[in-house]
Structure 1
Amino acid sequence: MAQVVDTSDFRPGLKIKWEGGMWVILECSHHKMGRGGAIVRGKLRNLETGSSVDQSFKSGERFERIIFDEKPAQYQYRDGEDYVFMDMESYDQVTIPSNVLGDAVKYLVDDLEVSFDMYEGRVMGIELPNQVVMKITDTPPGFKGDTASGSGKPATTETGLVVTVPFFVENGEDILVDTRTGEYLERAKK
């Protein structure tokens, strides 16, 4: 039996069927209109094509929720615009285009263990772990006394992701990054 959700259940990451396609909600905000009912504005990404749209929905509109089966996988390598993973159960190689993966490509480091999002036997995307260890490839040097400002400096990781790190972090160091927010968490333990 299909699970039904309405606009009050909208949150980033929720996957729904809408207009004959499968969509993931990237952003959403609820707006109360003066006399009329509330509306929900959202940014959605099509799970099959990778295209994104901005859309408004009437409060209370109902949708079928998509629940994926998860299957363990491991990131192998990039092949042009495609990313190659190994299915950890069958050891088959599975290729997924970058437009289907979206922002997840910023966190794909060698041998990263992920989960395939499976729907009716097809891979629809991946689920990242909450934290990933990444190597800093470029960041300006820190100076004595910089810690007083409390902010940080930009650092580019091995995948090209730019995060703000404390001044004491240097090139070549491994850091822990939160894949949900893209923020620096701490230096990686060796």
Structure 2
Amino acid sequence: MTKEYSIHSFKPGLKVMIFNQPCLIQSSKFVKPGKGQAFSRVVFKNLLSGKIIKTTFKSTDILKIANIYDTKVLYLYNDSFFWYFIDIKNFEEIIVSKEIIGFKRFWLVPQLKCSLTLWKKMVISINLNNFVNLKVIKTISNLKKNSINNSMKSAILDTGISVKVPYFININDIIKIDTRNGKYVSRI
């Protein structure tokens, strides 16, 4: 039995099937004009492609619920092609391709807890905490130290990414990084 939603039930965060693909409703505005049929303006994100789509639905339209769920995992290791996780509940190994991991690979360190979003038993995205602690393995300072316009230097972290950090950060320091924008937050 498949659950369905009418346009009166649309709300942000709802995961539904649109064009046979799982989508996340980001906003929905129900409109009842003086004349004519009521409709709903919906902005949704395709969870497979990441595209944002705007569309309208008539008051008689119905959408099916997307069978999407998140599972808590522990990151183990990678071989540059696949990233290996273990499900915290049932200890099953989950293998995720480089295409799904994408840029988030720079925030993954062994034993990091995160969650994976699955649809039809396939991983479609990885969800990280907002902050991660990483070790500085190399710093590259500019010639102009203590300049007002140039108060940051480059640092290479143990995951291989380069970020801008303040001049007081040294090799082997542990720093907190915001995974949403890749910026330095603080020294640990």
Above 0.5 in TM-score? yes
TM-score, scaled relative to structure 1: 0.66
Cα deviation for residue 179 of structure 1 reads 0.8
1:129: which partner in 2?
129
Structure 2: gaps spanning 5 or more residues: 26-43
TM-score, scaled relative to structure 2:
0.67
Residue 164 of structure 1 aligns with which residue? 164
* Match in the other structure for 1:111: 111
The 8 Å contact of residues 141 and 170 in structure 1, kept in 2 or not, is answered as no
Sort the Cα spacing of 1:173 and 1:93 in 2 relative to 1 into closer, same or farther, 3 A. Answer: same
- Gap change, CA 1:56 and 1:69, over 3 Å in 2: closer
Q: CA deviation at 1:121?
A: 3.9
2:28 — aligned with what? none
Amino acid at match of 1:137: I
Alignment of 1:55-70 (within 5 A): 60=56, 68-70=68-70
Go from structure 1 to structure 2 and tell me whether the alpha carbon gap of 1:122 and 1:160 turns closer, same or farther (over 3 Å shift).
same
Note the C-alpha offset of 1:186.
Answer: 0.4
Counterpart contact for 2:75–2:108, Cα < 8 Å: yes
Which residue in the other structure is 2:153 paired with? 153
Q: How many residues align?
A: 168
Query: Could you give the per-residue CA deviations for residues 3-51 of structure 1, whole angstroms, max 9, x where no partner exists?
Result: 689xxx99xx9977554334689xxxxxxxxxxxxxxxx9x7763xxx6
Give the conservation status (yes or no) of the 8 Å contact 2:75–2:109: yes
Q: CA RMSD in A?
A: 3.9
Sequence identity (%): 25
Does the aligned pair in 2 maintain the 1:14–1:24 contact within 8 Å? Answer: yes
Deviation at 1:155, TM superposition (A): 1.6
Q: Which structure 1 residue ranges, 5 or more long, are not aligned?
A: 26-41
Shift of 1:116: 1.7
Q: After TM superposition, list the pairs within 5 Å mapping 1:1-190 onto structure 2.
A: 1-2=3-4, 17=17, 19-22=19-22, 47=48, 60=56, 68-141=68-141, 146=146, 148-149=148-149, 151-188=151-188
Structure 2 letter corresponding to 1:74? L
Partner of 2:40: none
Quick one: structure 1 residues 169 and 65, their matched pair in 2 at CA, closer, same or farther if it must change by over 3 Å? farther
Deviates more, 1:160-169 or 1:116-125: 116-125
